[in-house]
Amino acid sequence: MRGSVVSQVQALYKLSGISRIGHSKHRAKELTWSSGAKTWYEIGKHLGIYSYSTADAYRDVWKQLFSYAKSNFGVGDIEKLNFEIVRSFLHSKIEQGVSKRTFSSMQL
């Protein structure tokens, strides 16, 4: 993939198919329950993003990760991110003192 950090993150967000903005989250939960989900974990696996603020938060973390990968690993293609880069990024966040709650909410 080519382009700036922002354009690649936007493209990844669109390709991911997780955007459900404009749809009912309540209805999606009902459908998931009725199709056999028994736990909140199972429901969460099938839900997408239903609010603009959540989408912005996800994209912000993705931008941080990709910027980190570019500056520390020379990766210019978001599709070339790998486990080692993500692990290094998360370790750097821990070293920066990101709180456990904030760290837990980073849905990478």
Is 106 or 98 the better-scoring residue by pLDDT? Answer: 98
User: Taking phi first (over 0 means left), then psi (-120 to 50 degrees means alpha), and beta for anything else, what does residue 21 get?
Assistant: beta
Report the domain count for the chain: 1
What pLDDT, in 10s, does the model give residues 1-13?
A: 899 999 999 999 9
What pLDDT, in 10s, does the model give residues 18-42?
A: 999 999 999 999 999 999 999 999 9
Structure confidence at residue 98 (pLDDT):
78
- Beta strands per DSSP E along the chain: none
Q: Which domain holds residue 36?
A: 5-105
Structure confidence at residue 27 (pLDDT):
95
pTM here? 0.80
Per-residue confidence band for 105, with pLDDT thresholds at 50, 70 and 90:
low
Residue with tokens 């990478």: 108
Nearest Cα to Cα of residue 55 among 99, 23, 86, 96: 23
